[in-house]
Amino acid sequence: MRAFDTRYLLVLCVALGLCACGTQLAHYRDYTGDGTFVAHAAPSPICQDGYTVDLGAIDLTRPNELSLRLEGLPAIEATIGIVLSVKNAQGSRADVPRTTALIQLTLRDDLGHIVLSRHERLSEWIGSVGLDSPSQVYLYQRGTQIEVALAPGTVRVERFPLGPDNSWGTYFTPRRGARYTLHFAITEPDVSLADVQARLQVNGMAGCL
């Protein structure tokens, strides 16, 4: 697994704030898909609220698969990822083991078009630790980045390529009112994770400029 990045909250907040600064979700009632939708207040009224859709526990120690509905998500950039935590954890992120489980994740829109698809080991995903949850690791994936020269000694980093709904790794930006189907499968389990709890989530992060 790649090195844990404790700065992911800041990076994601700034990136998402650029996209939709000012989005308020405290009274959001449009989500009608599977799981539990919880809004996260931004640090300032002029900033963008975030959210989590918790899609429930998944067992990474045995082959299994599930399909879930994502309907009415806010139209702000989000990531699909997995939260890992050690059962009865008393310590820090060092308590969360690295996993080699092989997974298949596919997101389709209501017309059946593939928005994003990943088939890879979770050891290839980025492991990030929340500032307020040091005993949990959030796994997600970025896509490819390229540097575009703007002037001598100056470059701009761009995502490439972008898929439907601006998908990139496990990132995507839901279309307003769109309905998606998320298929998740564990094709090669990791039996060493007996003491690890895993939950599948969609996260749109709160933040501002």
pLDDT of residue 20: 43
Q: What is the pLDDT of residues 45-101, one digit of tens each?
A: 778 899 999 999 999 999 999 999 999 999 999 999 999 998 775 655 557 888 999
Is residue 2, in this structure, part of any structural domain at all? no
- Cβ(94)–Cβ(134) below 8 Å: no
CATH number of domain containing 82 = 2.60.120
Residue 3 within a domain: no
Position 1 in a domain: no
Judge whether 148 lies within some domain: yes
Judge whether 73 lies within some domain.
Answer: yes
For residue 123, being part of any structural domain is answered with yes
Would 39 be classed as within a structural domain?
Answer: yes
Please name which of 115, 105, 109 lies closest in space to residue 166, comparing C-alpha atoms.
115
Name residues whose C-beta falls within 8 Å of residue 168's C-beta, 6 or more positions apart in sequence.
Answer: 116, 142, 143, 159, 162
Size (the chain), residues: 209
State CA 108 to chain mean position distance: 16
Which residues lie closer than 8 Å to 131 by C-beta, 6 or more apart? Answer: 6, 9
DSSP summary character for residue 2: P
State the residue range of the domain holding 145: 8-204
Over residues 166-191, mean pLDDT: 97
Total domains in the chain come to: 1
> Tens of pLDDT along 96-131?
888 999 999 999 999 999 999 999 999 999 999 876
Q: What are phi and psi of 59, to 5 degrees?
A: -105, 105
Helix (H) or strand (E) holding 202: strand 196-204
Q: Is residue 50 part of a domain?
A: yes
